[in-house]
Amino acid sequence: MVNNGILLIDKPSGITSHDVVDRIRKITNEKKVGHAGTLDPLATGLLIILVGKQATRLSQKLIGYDKRYLITTALGFTTNTLDTEGIMTDQLDPMSDRIKTAARKFKEAAHSFIGKYEQEVPSFSAVKIGGNKLYDLARKKPEELQKITLPKREVTIYAIETTSSPPTQEGYPQVIIDCTVSSGTYTRALVRDISQKLEIPMVQTALRRIRIGNFDISQAKTLEDVTPSDIIPLSSLQIND
């Protein structure tokens, strides 16, 4: 069996990236296992799992690769976390004219973000301020969070395409954003920024990662199907500098 290499996993919704790592440890009987870029529990798609000591050393390099996502967003309401796990903070009637107008202008607004821009990190994120993770402050000390100026990071949106998606059960229209972005881009923040441009509340309802660098979801295995023989040896990989 290959002792050092990577596994491309199609992560299901409802489990953490660390849960996947634990599962791979058991499947491969290898203690040194990591991943190259986390996915939130609700998110699905490509997760690069690093198996073996040499492979785990590549983590930061692989995390720095560009990524492609399919972001499903609903128009007309939002939450404190900018996704469906949070508490509702703003909501319009599903039949609101504001929603209809925003839906017509959505593509233009989304395309305006192509290129470099300064993205404010979400308040519910793992970014540390004064030694505290923002999501800890948001949950436990929201009054302190209000006093903090959230940091901004330069990110690059390389491409965006938009397609309509079936509405939510409540009747809110949904749009799928197919985007290729630089490492460090927060998809929930991109949805927030598009919503601000459209002057309408929006929320991320689903997220699927389909590419990291040259690695594609079509190469990935499910947790049910993956075996140690699926490990791709480091010697056969083309890792970009």
- Say if residue 46 is in the same domain as residue 154: no
Instruction: Give ∠ CA 155-210-134 in degrees, rounded to 5.
Output: 45
- Say if residue 31 is in the same domain as residue 114: no
pLDDT over threshold 70, residue 128: no
**So what's the pLDDT on residue 122?**
77
Domain carrying residue 165: 67-123+150-211
The structure's pTM equals 0.90
Does residue 68 contact residue 211 with C-beta atoms inside 8 Å? yes
pLDDT over threshold 80, residue 134: no
What confidence tier does 4 reach under pLDDT thresholds 50, 70, 90? confident
69 has which bridge partners? Answer: 179, 209
Catalytic residue from among 10, 19, 22, 40: 40
What confidence tier does 69 reach under pLDDT thresholds 50, 70, 90? very high
pLDDT over threshold 90, residue 97: yes
DSSP strands (E only) in 104-227: 115-120, 128-129, 132-133, 152-165, 174-181, 202-212, 215-216
Q: What is the pLDDT of residues 165-184, one digit of tens each?
A: 999 999 999 999 999 999 99
The average pLDDT across 41-50 equals 95
- Say if residue 56 is in the same domain as residue 77: no
- CATH code, 53: 3.30.2350.10
pLDDT over threshold 60, residue 7: yes
Catalytic-residue membership of 40: yes
- Say if residue 160 is in the same domain as residue 207: yes
